[in-house]
Amino acid sequence: MSLEEEQSTREKNKQVVSEYTTEFWGNGNTDVVDKLCADDFVSDCPLHGRRQGKAQVKKMILDFREAFPDFVIHAYGSIPMIAENDYVVVRWIGGGKHTGPAFDDLPIGRLQGQNTGRVIQFSGTTIYTLRDGKIIEEVAEEGALTALQQLGILSSASTAD
């Protein structure tokens, strides 16, 4: 592959990931999964666990967005997407307010009750792997501990004097 072809592939991969991040995570648009992700797509995020296949991934975001309907996500400051070969790395920040039903799709515990009004604000970094212009995997390292503390599921560590 020539240098120009490699650059073109990197830019196309970044466009795919940008659209996916904005539409799926930012807007809860599940149609983008069918458009941009491979059939064997895997999503692996600490706050949501590992999801295999498009149906599981779509259900996860629908449940999450029902509990946090105003959730937003965007690029973190001026940090750009980084693309190399079949990988795109994105640094992001997101948050929202729990105004929906009780939410138990968490690695530990559950958010008791409806409409708790608790606000989450956390950041993360996601590595996307693409094949033939489709996302085959997203692996996130996110501020799950921060989010669980903000939701009151885990207590914050106290400091000793």
Rg of the chain taking only CA atoms, in angstroms: 17
Domain-embedded: residue 21: yes
Domain-embedded: residue 94: yes
Which is more confident, 48 or 157? 48
Q: CA-to-CA distance for 136 and 134, rounded, in angstroms?
A: 6
Q: CA-to-CA distance for 120 and 48, rounded, in angstroms?
A: 14
- Structural domain including 121 reads 3-150
pLDDT at 133 over 90: yes
Strand pairing report for 87-97 and 134-142: unpaired
pLDDT at 160 over 80: no
Predicted structure pTM score: 0.87
pLDDT at 35 over 70: yes
Domain-embedded: residue 101: yes
pLDDT in tens, 49-106: 899 999 999 999 999 999 999 999 987 766 779 999 999 999 999 999 999 888 777 7
